[in-house]
Every structure is written in C-alpha cells, then in structure tokens.
Structure 1
Amino acid sequence: MMQLSRDKFENVKHVPLLDVTPLPLGIEIPDRVMPLSSSTVPPFPPSRHIFTVYSDKQLDVDFFSYRKVKGS
C-alpha cells in the first residue's frame, strides 16, 4: 500500500489505481464526472486515463468516486 505525503510527493511518478468492484464507476473532474469503465460484465477491459493537475504548484488532489445506478 502506498502512502502519499506532501514532503515525498516529488518522488512519485505513477500511482496505480486498482478497481476491485464490478460496478461502473466514475470520478469527478472539474465541470463533469468522467466514467472509468462502461462495461458491466466481468472481465473488465483494461483502460487508461491520464489526468493533469488543475492549477500550477498543486499540492493535493481530491478524488470523488461515483457509482452508476441502473436507468441513469
């Protein structure tokens, strides 16, 4: 398990995010919710998204995850 802290974030190049739930999920980014997976039947196809910081010299990132509900 990786633990991030402000004094060591310069050394972090890649942070793997693992999805272990069979639900369609998304994360909130400025002005919208970005879907991470559109498949609802395992096995999930691998996907990759690259995000950049929202402002210069940004020290932290808040991740808000959302689960898609049937019919929406």
Structure 2
Amino acid sequence: MSETKPSFFIVWNPEGTRPPTHRHPTDWQAKAEASRLALENPLQEFFVMEARLVARVRQPVEIEEFEPADEVPF
C-alpha cells in the first residue's frame, strides 16, 4: 500500500441521469451543494457520500484506503 490520501465527498441523486463527477474536499461543501440541488429539485433526494477506498486492477490488486473525515457529514 502507498500513503493514505485525503477522503472526498460526492453528491449523488439516484434519479439523476449522470453520475456525480465533482469531488468536494469537505463535507460542508458537499452539504451545501446537496441543499442547493434539493431546493432546485424538491421531489428528489440528494445523498452526500464519502469516498473511503478505491480498488484498482494491478498485479496484484491494490486497495488504497482514504483517511476518514473528522466529522460525520449527516
């Protein structure tokens, strides 16, 4: 394993037509974006999700864990 990278947050809408692409560096920035999107789309839900690890195909498979956030985002 290599050094631990900081975690990031995404805002996900299960009814959305595109997957999330923006990485929010803090939970409060992701919360603000989720709130903004919820106000624009009142009948939809927007989830703030934290990246905890990534898996890649390498020889052998490498798993890298992210440093968890200090605060619970919800």
TM, length-normalised to structure 2: 0.30
The structure with the largest strand share of the pair is: 2
TM, length-normalised to structure 1: 0.31
Asked which structure has the greater RCO (Cα within 8 Å, sep 6+), the reply is 2
The structure with the largest helix share of the pair is: 2
